[in-house]
A and B are shown apart, each in its own frame.
Chain A
Amino acid sequence: MKAKLRFILAAGVLGLLMTGPFALTALLLLADAKEAERAAFAEFLLPRLPLGGLITLFGFIAGLALLRGLFQQYVHGLLRMAETLRLMLGANRNFRVAPAGPPEVRELARAANDLAQQRDELLNDVEAQIRQAKATVEDEKNRLAALMSELAMAVVVCNLDGRILLYNSRARLQFKALAQGPTSMSGGALIGLGRSIFSILERGQITHALENIQQRLRKGSAEPTANFITTTRGGALLRAQMAPVLGSAERAEKVGIPPTPPAKQGGDEVSGQAIPAQDQTKAPTMLGAEQQVTGYVLTIENITRSFEREAERDQALQTLTDGNRAALGNIRAAVETLIDSPEMEADTRERFMRVIADEASTMSERLETTMSRFADSLKTRWPLEDVLAVDIVAAAARRIDDRLHLPIKHEDQDASLWMRVDSFALIQAITFLAARLQDHYAIRELRLRLAAEGRMVFVDLIWSGTPVSSETLYTWELEPMNVGAETSPLTLRDVVDRHGGEIWYQRDKAAHNAFFRIVLPAAATPEAQAGDQAQHLRSDSRPEYYDFDLFAARDAEGSGIDPDRRLTDLAYSVFDTETTGLEPSNGDEIIQMGAVRIVNNRLLRQEIFDQLVDPAIPLKPEGIPIHGITEAMVNGQPRLDVVLPAFHEFCAETVLVAHNAAFDMRFFQLKEDSLGVRFTQPVLDTLLLSAVIHPNQESHRLESIAERLGINVIGRHTALGDAYVTGEVFLKMIPLLADMGIVTLRQALDAAQQTYFARIKY
């Protein structure tokens, strides 16, 4: 607008300058002329005036058209080019100006492109060097992350505000399994980078453990760890160990950890219910000049099952002792009275006898019921692990060959079988049996076979020739398993019992052989889990389950969203919805919701929300080609009354980002009252932000923006796919906004509100 005005003004002045002298001359001549000359001139001029006027008008129009063309080509064209040049400067380096318009502008575009080319080569060079320098560090970080993800224990690292900086896949799986109700839908959304650990574990307990550690540190303890047991909202029992992450005070300062939180403290206090606890986590972190606690590592183990088992065992023990104590007391008193009272009359004696019989039978009954009720928990107190059955058999074969020099053959081994066993004891047992067979029956070869039936795995030791009497196995079962110089306190029976298994001897007359069969419990093939982990490790990009930069981040979550924070420091939930149609007020419904998180300026592709929704109304046929969602896909999916609260929880304490957010927000708004879910956080719209950044571009569709900013669009028109694209677009926009002086959330919200598109209502 400004440029246009200036141009029009300039054209006007130019026109005046060019026509002015001519008009002035004419006026002077007119003033100088005599009366008769004037009349003659008028007489000559008047009849020809319409033609002259027409020609002048034509000239004027032609001039205007020329001016307009010049404006379009030289002013507007240059402005548009300037915008694209800015784009090349920041967001999309590979973008090039398309040479268009008059030759001079085209030449300028070509020169700019050449310049960009030169700059790109330089930049690439520099980047390559930086990459090389960073590669080792990144490698190490990735190796650490990969190691963490492989750990069998759940590991979570937090900064002092309880924000999660790292978690491994076991932690994700564990908390996913623990998640209850709506949370379970977001795939264990409770755990995520930048999220608060306090949504999983109780704040007071963490604070207390941290205090313990700090006390121990002050006393100079070498291993300042703290242990605690806690219950989750779902009632599961967790055992956690906390170890501090120590950093030098100097470094802590460098990364920007202020010694005391500044003025924002007030904001903290409003929302946190446990203010003193929070303050304590922050305050006593100074431990002399060198060592300062900057965070902590939590290793978390779900002990619900083992605890239940232990509790059952305790209960069994208690039932047996306390329950029988009374009965035994009654019997003893009666018996002793009987013995000491020979004078007792017959019918009194009879009553005493009945008491004894009565109590004795009560005792045996109790014993029976207790044993049968707790049999399982009494059996499984050995540390059994899931192993591949063929691995055990192979290990046993190696051992037998090594110790006994007895040839082993493998027969029909099902390689897919998993067992739950104490592998060392089991290998010992197999070796022991082989040794006995060799010593007593001089067998020259042993064959090992693996088979399965139902939830059992059979390990067979087969030999030809001499049959064994079944008594022999009974004797062997009860001997300690000594092989050569190796001794063991266990017997074969112990090992079998410890697995809740069985062993027997069998003859196969038809095949002229005999075998021992050990029956062991089968284990579920742990494929699902392995697959999940493999997926994490395949990813070439930087793993997204850690972000140590968050050590330095100060509390944003838990204290609401401060509009004066920088856009780069905030956590976002970028989302998109697919709907039955475009009119929320006319009964259209949400059929899919997808969201992805941005924390610390990174798109966290693992921390997502992806859910189909049953709209409870028929889908419109014209919509299906667009979103690709059919009736069959939404049938049986949860309704919005479940999904929206889950989504609300997923987005808690983050800024919402969407493309054309007004449309999606209208859907939410219409459901606010009926579902009781209110989205009160600030909302940023990439459509409006695009209009802020590129007011002269014609299209602000997501595809066009993505193309402008150099983002590959994959999987468009699924809610999650669009959320990914929107998230990437938004991340590219942040530096462009900063170039325009839009740095904080408040500035971004204000700028977006002033664009033309902000006036569209749904």
Chain B
Amino acid sequence: MTQATASAAALARDPAWHGRIGGFIAFLVVLWPLLAWSEFRPWLLFDSQGLAAMRGFLAGFLPPSTAPDFLALLARSTLETLAMATAGMALAFVLAAPLAFVATRALSISRIGPGPGVWRAAIVRQSSRFVLMVLRAVPEVVWALVLVRALGLGPGAGVLALGIAYGGLLGKVYSEILESTDTQPARALLEAGSGRLAALLYGLVPGAAQELASYTVYRWECAVRASVVMGFVGAGGLGQLMDQSMKMLNGGEASAILLTFLVLVLLADGISAALRKALA
């Protein structure tokens, strides 16, 4: 009797205890198979063999390699990475701009009023959206891996992969930016009988130019990082160099490349921030 009232009092104190306990048990039930599938055994990190190998590799990190011919190679790879990012962005822009121009609702003449061709226009718009979605659904590294098989090792595959994946991304974001700015001027132009291109250039771009440019610069910064990563699947640049040094367990070279990479990312961050501030 007393026990029952005591537990009832405890229940009254936390009315949500059912949900809490149930949620916690459900969490554990989900967690257990996930831990098994990911073969999560952290104690393996601390067995003596792995530790010794890691210590040897990390000991090689210092000092970073400064052999003149390696530094020359490093400089060439860094330039190659920057060139890949820039060329890939140019390609992405060429792909994204026309698709965004077709896909954006802000320039739709058929949506202004009832008229012929509503369905045709909607189909064209939706299919360009679908193309953009397919382009960006596959990450750029996967595009690079596939394209390296088709085009051979080297920066060509990386540039194309960046162009495809970022083309899809830029196209979607461009069309959304155009829709989110003030669309009244474009609509007025269209209603007065102007063409779509003129409505874009005189009605939408003046209002959205800063945001469009700033997003493009930000994506260039991401492209620098992505081109390093794509090197790991054989698309040239710093990543490929790092992959080679890691496979040869050359700690000095690996640490020099890592340092270069960090400096490059910080530099790209800085350039991108300065450019966006200048545009604002």
Binding between chains A and B: no
Q: Which residues of B contact A (CB under 8 A)?
A: none
> Which residues of A are interface residues toward B (Cβ below 8 A)?
none
